[in-house]
Structure 1
C-alpha cells in the first residue's frame, strides 16, 4: 500500500489526482465496476455469436417464412441506435413485463444487467449474421455439390460445411464486430448498471477527477479490445485453410 501511496503522490505532483484509490469504499466500487464490465464482455460475446449464427442460418435457409422475419429484424436493429434499443427494452418492455407479472402475483426477475446483455448481444448479432451470410455465400459451389453427392441434407450442409467455412471467411469481420461490442458495453451505465463507467461517474461527482478516471476507463477498454484482437488474430492463423482466401 505504501508503494501505491507513493505512486499516487507522484502522479498528484504532475496534476493527476488518483486519491480515490486510497479510499476503501471508492476503490472497492471501482474494482467492482471493472469486474462488471468484464462480466458483460464475457457474456455478450458468446450470446451475440450464437444469435448471429442463428440469424445467418435463417437468412440463407431459402425459406421465406424464416428469411423474411430475420431480414426484418436485421434491418430494424442495425438501423436504430443501440442506446434507444436499450431504453426501449429496459424502460418499455421491462415495465410491461413487470406490470403483467404483478397482475398475476409475480415479480419481475429481469435485472438491468440482463437487459444490457440481451440488447447489446442482439444488436451486434445482426452484424455477425451479415458477415456470416457473406461467408456462406462465398462457399464454392463445387464444395456444396460434393456435400450433396455424399447425401448431406440441407441442415447437415449448413452445420458441417457452410458455417465452418463461413466462419473462416468472415473471421476478420467478426473480430471487428466483437471489438466494437466490447466498447458498446459501456452503455450499461445509461440504465445504472454498475460497470466501470457508472462507478467512475459516481466517484468523479464527489472528487472532480474526471480526467484521471477517464484515462483509467480508456486504458481498461483498450486492454479488453486488445485481448479480443489478439485472440482473433490467433484464430485466423489457427483456422486458416490452404486454398481458401489465399
Structure 2
C-alpha cells in the first residue's frame, strides 16, 4: 500500500501536482480529520435543515397570524441575504455577545464554531425547504383535498397522512437541489476556522505551496458528496413515485 502511494505521488509529481503531504503524518492526519468534519457538517445540517424547514412550514400554514408573519419575515430575510454574512453575524456578533454575557458570570461559552456553522446552514436551507414544500402544497389537486374532507379526516390528520406525503413527493426535486447546495455551502465553515477539509487544505498549502493539488482533492471530495446526494434523491423519487398521480 505504501509503495503504491509513493508510486502514485511520484507519477503525479511529473504533472506538477504535489501530494507529498500525504506521506507526512503531521499533515495527513489533520487532512483526514478535515474530511470527517466536513461529512459531519453535511449530515448535521441535512438533519437540522429538514427539521427547520418542517417547523417553518407549520408556522407558515398555521392559523396564527403572528407566527405565520414571523415565519414569513424570517424566510424572506434568510433567502435574501448571503449565507456568509449570516454566518459572520452569528459567530462574530451573537457569539461574542453570549461570550461576554457568560464571562460576567465566570462561565465559558459552550457554543463552538462547529455549532454556529450547523445552526446557520440549517436555518438558511430550512427556509428554502419550507418554500419548496409550500409549493408542493399549492400543487395538490383540489379533488384530493375535497375527498379527504369528505371522508371526515380532521385538519391534523389530513396534513400528516395525506397533504404532507403528497406535497413532499412534488417538492422532492427542489428539496434534493437544496441538499446539493447545502453540501457545497458547508465549505463556508472554513471562514470561521472550523477544521473542515477546506480549512485543513489552506493550512497545508500555506506551507507547501501546492494549491493546485489540494484544490483537485477538494473538488473531487465535494463532487463525490453532491453526486451521492443526487443519486439518493433520484432513488427516492423513483421509490416514492405514485403511478398515475399528477397525470
State the TM-score, normalizing by the size of structure 1.
0.97
> How much has 1:52 moved relative to structure 2?
0.6
Computed over aligned residues only, the root mean square deviation of the Cα atoms, in angstroms, reads 1.1
Q: Which residue of 2 aligns with 1:75?
A: 76
Deviation per residue, 1:174-221 (Å, 9 max, x gap): 000100000000000000000000000000000000010000000000
The answer on whether the counterparts of 1:189 and 1:198 sit within 8 Å (CA) in structure 2 is yes
Query: Structure 1 residues 85, 151: CA separation in 2 closer, same or farther (over 3 Å shift)?
Result: same
Q: How many Å separate the matches in 1 of 2:166 and 2:81?
A: 30
Whether 1:110 and 2:111 are equivalent positions in the alignment is: yes
Whether 1:2 and 2:22 are equivalent positions in the alignment is: no
> How much has 1:75 moved relative to structure 2?
0.4
Whether 1:147 and 2:148 are equivalent positions in the alignment is: yes
Q: Which residue of 2 aligns with 1:240?
A: 241
Whether 1:180 and 2:186 are equivalent positions in the alignment is: no
Q: Secondary structure at the match of 1:237?
A: helix
Whether 1:52 and 2:56 are equivalent positions in the alignment is: no
- What is the total number of aligned residue pairs between the two structures? 246
Deviation per residue, 1:21-59 (Å, 9 max, x gap): 110110101101111001111111111011111111221
The answer on whether the counterparts of 1:135 and 1:166 sit within 8 Å (CA) in structure 2 is yes
Structure 1 segments (4+ residues) deviating >3 Å: none
> How much has 1:64 moved relative to structure 2?
1.3
> How much has 1:101 moved relative to structure 2?
1.8
Q: How many Å separate the matches in 1 of 2:150 and 2:230?
A: 39
Deviation per residue, 1:77-112 (Å, 9 max, x gap): 010000000000011111111122222332211110
Q: Which residue of 2 aligns with 1:21?
A: 22
> How much has 1:63 moved relative to structure 2?
3.0
Q: Secondary structure at the match of 1:127?
A: helix
The answer on whether the counterparts of 1:131 and 1:170 sit within 8 Å (CA) in structure 2 is yes
State the TM-score, normalizing by the size of structure 2.
0.97
> How much has 1:16 moved relative to structure 2?
0.9
The answer on whether the counterparts of 1:57 and 1:158 sit within 8 Å (CA) in structure 2 is no
Q: Which residue of 1 aligns with 2:134?
A: 133
In terms of mean alpha carbon deviation, does 148-157 or 87-96 score higher? 148-157
Gaps of 5+ in 1: none
Q: Secondary structure at the match of 2:108?
A: coil
The answer on whether the counterparts of 1:169 and 1:245 sit within 8 Å (CA) in structure 2 is no
Q: Secondary structure at the match of 2:131?
A: helix
Deviation per residue, 1:116-145 (Å, 9 max, x gap): 000011111111110000101111122222
